[in-house]
Amino acid sequence: MAPFSIGNPAAASTLQTRPPQGVAREAVETQKPIVKASVEAPPRKPRPQTEPAAADPEANTLSWIERLQREQTPSLVLDDDVADDQGDDGDDLQIETAARTPANLDKTVTVPRGDTLAGALNKAGIDRREAHAAIRKLSKVMNPRRVRAGQELTLTIAPAEDGPGRLLGLSMEKDFAHRVGVRLGEGGYESYKEKKVLERRLARVAGPIKSSLYLAATKAGLTVPVLADLIRAYSWDVDFQRDIQPGDAFEVMFEQYSDSTGRIVHYGEVIFASLTLTGTRLPIYRFTTRHGVTSYFNEKGHGAKKALMRTPIDGARLSSRYGKRRHPILGYTKKHTGVDFAAPPGTPIYAAGDGVIDYAGRKGGYGKYIRIRHNSEYATAYAHMRAYRRGMRKGKRVKQGQVIGYVGSTGRSTGPHLHYEILRNGRHTNPLKVKMPSGEKLRGKDLKRFQAKRADIERLYAALVPPGKVAEAN
């Protein structure tokens, strides 16, 4: 037999009529149309032996080599819809498709106590450089330092066989109405802020008071955040330790926001409230003036907010009144120049009114002490603090309701409480009995607008029956 050679016509003839050893007959039969096309070429005239054959033996030989390679190479299986579209590069696309990558992973992690956002990402397996780049972009839509322990983070990660996965996305709730995050784009991480689709409704809760407003309100289904707002709205004129009596009553209408599933995600502002104290009804209405100032006003348009708060602390118990008493540490009778509110350590203390801090520091038996000058007539003092809020110093201007410090037990104190004083023309006066300077009074167009708003609020409140039922706000 002639040696196997690309340029040998006899070898080509042999390959056309007989398969080489080791090649299955079925494989040859599958290529039969190709071989037949070569064998049944159009008849040609005899030529001298020295002349090459008309058929292209190289093409036939190459077709056999190609067939041998296909028989000896394992095939890759593709779905029909993928294989039909391969074209000339089908083999390459098959190999790429066969090496499938794992699907992206959505992972929820919680920021541990005492940790930071960067630390939480590192513990979740995110590369430090990627975590730093993502946080830097996130800072465009929120302050990363405001992320607190317990905050839930949703991470989208591209898993890797070796090493940490690639961070593709990060998102979290900024507040009840917004979600923020970053996504990995072509140019790196991109920040975004999305507004949630929420439904605003109004809810009404009311009930009698048998012992305390707190017990009555929580029993009727009022949440603690709404109750705190209710107490704060009345705190300028009502002493909740002394003025509340059995037989009194309360009413409140407030906002609540729910998501697409109907789950309540946030309790909003108190729109209307009323306390009935010893038979006298004291309603207040939320209203915004033409100058953009929002506050509460009674039915005559007089502001519920007075120049000074009577109780500059939330949820406290009146533990000692103004006047002469036996001092619990010194052991002798001594005038108590203020009132004491017992509260857990760290409870926020509020500025009783707008003013300027004229003393901030330790002051003998008062311990850590702050005094605020409100005007030429009134000043207030706060003693036994555990700590001052950052930035509170002499000369600092503060607003009413602004946190200035935290309840503690510094100085001569038997336990955590706030000692609160009101000074009028430099002399101590009873904070529970002093007549507070009046607040804002609406006049002219603002008063007319308020009366119309008040009628709308009362109509909405009347429509929310029975108490606790909710209705959509107009």
CATH number at 244 reads 3.10.450.350
pLDDT of residue 438: 67
Look up tokens 């209705």; give the residue. Answer: 471
Q: Is the pLDDT confidence value at 11 over 60?
A: no
Residue 47 — pLDDT band, cuts 50, 70, 90?
A: low
Q: Within this chain, do residues 187 and 287 fall inside the same structural domain, yes or no?
A: no
CB 153 within 8 A of CB 144: no
Residue 362 bridge partners (DSSP): 368
Which of 50, 76, 98 is a domain's end point? 98
Angle value at C-alpha 70, between 67 and 71, nearest 5 degrees:
85
Q: Which helix (H) or strand (E) holds 71?
A: helix 57-72
Mean pLDDT over residues 392-421, rounded? 92
Q: Is the pLDDT confidence value at 474 over 50?
A: no
Q: Within this chain, do residues 282 and 202 fall inside the same structural domain, yes or no?
A: yes
Mean pLDDT over residues 379-402, rounded? 94
| 317 or 231, higher pLDDT | 231
Residues 76/77/81/85 CA torsion (nearest 10 deg): 20
pLDDT of residue 376: 81
pLDDT of residue 466: 53
Domain with 89 in it: 9-98
Residue 191 — pLDDT band, cuts 50, 70, 90?
A: very high
For residues 396 and 387, what is the distance between their CA atoms, to the nearest angstrom? 16
Q: Kindly report whether the global pTM for this prediction surpasses the value 0.75.
A: no
Identify the CA nearest to 396 among candidates 361, 421, 431: 361
Rg of the chain over Cα atoms, rounded to whole angstroms, equals 42
Q: Within this chain, do residues 137 and 148 fall inside the same structural domain, yes or no?
A: yes
pLDDT of residue 414: 84
Q: Within this chain, do residues 290 and 388 fall inside the same structural domain, yes or no?
A: no
Residue 260 — pLDDT band, cuts 50, 70, 90?
A: confident
For residues 438 and 444, what is the distance between their CA atoms, to the nearest angstrom? 19
Q: What percent of the chain has pLDDT over 90?
A: 43
* Extended beta strands in 278-366, E state: 280-288, 294-297, 317-320, 323-326, 333-336, 339-342, 348-350, 355-362
Identify the CA nearest to 180 among candidates 197, 160, 196, 166: 196
Q: Is the pLDDT confidence value at 409 over 90?
A: yes
SS3 68: helix
For residues 71 and 401, what is the distance between their CA atoms, to the nearest angstrom? 85
pLDDT of residue 236: 77
Q: Within this chain, do residues 186 and 243 fall inside the same structural domain, yes or no?
A: no
Q: Which two tokens stand for residue 120?
A: 């939480």
Lowest-pLDDT range, 9-18, 166-175, 301-310, 441-450? 9-18
Q: 66 in a domain, yes or no?
A: yes
Q: 253 in a domain, yes or no?
A: yes
Q: Is 453 exposed, middle or buried (0-12, 13-18, 19+ CB in 10 A)?
A: middle
Q: 3 in a domain, yes or no?
A: no
For residues 397 and 404, what is the distance between their CA atoms, to the nearest angstrom? 11
Q: 280 in a domain, yes or no?
A: yes
Q: Within this chain, do residues 252 and 186 fall inside the same structural domain, yes or no?
A: no
pLDDT of residue 405: 96
Residue 230 — pLDDT band, cuts 50, 70, 90?
A: very high
Which of 167, 195, 223 is a domain's end point? 195
Which of 195, 221, 252 is a domain's end point? 195
Give the CATH number, domain containing residue 399.
2.70.70.10
Q: Is the pLDDT confidence value at 131 over 80?
A: yes
pLDDT of residue 88: 43
Provide the b/e sequence for 185-213 (b: ≥16 CB within 10 Å): eeeebebeeeeeebeebbbbbbbebeeeb
Domain count along the chain: 4
Mean pLDDT over residues 38-55, rounded? 50
pLDDT of residue 418: 93
CB 432 within 8 A of CB 242: yes
End-to-end Cα, the chain, rounded Å: 101
Q: 286-295, pLDDT tens digit by residue?
A: 999 998 889 9
Beta pairing class for 355-362 and 368-373 = antiparallel
Average pLDDT along the chain: 78
Residue 14 — pLDDT band, cuts 50, 70, 90?
A: very low
For residues 211 and 248, what is the distance between their CA atoms, to the nearest angstrom? 9
For residues 88 and 68, what is the distance between their CA atoms, to the nearest angstrom? 19
Q: Within this chain, do residues 333 and 423 fall inside the same structural domain, yes or no?
A: yes
Q: Within this chain, do residues 24 and 109 fall inside the same structural domain, yes or no?
A: no
